Amino acid sequence: MVGKDAGIIKEGILSFLREKGPSFPVNIAKCVGLDTLFTSAFLSELISEKLVLSSYMRVGTSSVYFLPGQEKDLEKFSEYIKGKEREALNLLKEKKFLVDLEQEPAIKVALRGIKDFAKAFEMNEKVIWRYFTEKEENYKKEEIKVLEEPIKIEKGITQVHEKKELKKIKSRASEKGIQKKKTPTKINKLKKTNKKTDELFFNKIKTYLTEKNFEILDIISFNKKDLILKVKYEGEEKLVISYNKKRITEKDILNASKRAELIGLKYIVISLGETPKKISSWIEALKTLDSIEKTE
Whether the Cβ atoms of residue 62 and residue 26 lie closer than 8 Å to each other: yes
The tens digit of pLDDT for each residue in 97-141 reads: 999 999 988 898 899 999 999 999 988 888 999 999 998 888 876
User: Looking at this protein, which amino acid is placed at residue 258?
Assistant: K
CA-atom Rg of the chain in angstroms: 26
Q: How far apart are CA 64 and CA 56, in angstroms?
A: 8
Q: CA quadruple 47, 48, 51, 53: dihedral positive or negative? A: positive
Q: How far apart are CA 82 and CA 257, in angstroms?
A: 27
Q: How confident is the model at residue 253 (pLDDT cuts 50, 70, 90)?
A: confident
The tens digit of pLDDT for each residue in 38-55 reads: 898 999 999 999 999 999
State the pLDDT at residue 150. Answer: 46
Answering whether pTM is above 0.75, one says no
Instruction: Count Cβ atoms below 10 Å from residue 10 Cβ, excluding itself.
Output: 19
State the pLDDT at residue 106. Answer: 87
Closest CA to 55 of 17, 92, 19, 87: 17
Average pLDDT over residues 166-173: 52
State the pLDDT at residue 281. Answer: 80
Average pLDDT over residues 70-98: 92
Q: How confident is the model at residue 64 (pLDDT cuts 50, 70, 90)?
A: very high
Average pLDDT over residues 21-49: 91
Q: How confident is the model at residue 211 (pLDDT cuts 50, 70, 90)?
A: confident
User: Looking at this protein, which amino acid is placed at residue 175?
Assistant: E
Helix (H) or strand (E) holding 104: none
Q: How confident is the model at residue 60 (pLDDT cuts 50, 70, 90)?
A: confident
Question: Angle CA(285)–CA(290)–CA(295) in degrees, nearest 5?
Answer: 105
Q: How far apart are CA 272 and CA 264, in angstroms?
A: 25
**Strand residue runs (E) in 106-225:** 118-123, 126-131, 151-152, 159-160, 215-222
- Does the fold of domain 80-183 match that of domain 4-76? yes
CATH of domain 80-183: 1.10.10
CATH architecture, domain defined by 4-76: Orthogonal Bundle (1.10)
Helix (H) or strand (E) holding 28: helix 25-32
- Domain ranges for the chain, please list them: 4-76, 80-183, 190-287
Whether the Cβ atoms of residue 216 and residue 244 lie closer than 8 Å to each other: no
Average pLDDT over residues 246-263: 85
Q: Does residue 162 carry a pLDDT above 70?
A: no
Helix (H) or strand (E) holding 98: strand 97-99
Q: Give percent of the chain with pLDDT exceeding 90.
A: 32
- Out of 15-29, 141-155, 262-276, which region has the weakest mean confidence (pLDDT)? 141-155
State the pLDDT at residue 154. Answer: 41
Residue, of 186 and 250, whose pLDDT is higher: 250
User: Looking at this protein, which amino acid is placed at residue 122?
Assistant: E
Please state, rounded to an integer, the average pLDDT across all residues of the chain: 80
State the pLDDT at residue 194. Answer: 62
Helix (H) or strand (E) holding 209: helix 186-211
Q: How far apart are CA 35 and CA 53, in angstroms?
A: 20
CA dihedral 20, 25, 31, 36 (to 10 degrees): 180
CATH of domain 190-287: 3.40.1350
State the pLDDT at residue 182. Answer: 47
**DSSP characters for 44-101?**
HHHHHTTS-EEEEEEETTEEEEE-TT-GGGGGGGGGG--HHHHHHHHHHHHHSEEEGG
Residue, of 3 and 107, whose pLDDT is higher: 107
Q: How confident is the model at residue 4 (pLDDT cuts 50, 70, 90)?
A: very low
Q: Which residues contact 248 (CB under 8 A, 6 or more apart)?
A: 269, 271, 275, 276, 279
For 140, phi then psi, to 5°, come to -60, -40
β-strand partners of 216 = 231
Average pLDDT over residues 46-65: 91
Whether the Cβ atoms of residue 36 and residue 60 lie closer than 8 Å to each other: no
Residue, of 286 and 74, whose pLDDT is higher: 74
State the pLDDT at residue 177. Answer: 53
Distance of CA 295 to the CA centre of its chain: 54
What are the C-alpha distances in Å from 1 to residues 7, 14, 45, 59, 75? 9, 16, 9, 27, 32
Q: Does residue 293 carry a pLDDT above 60?
A: yes
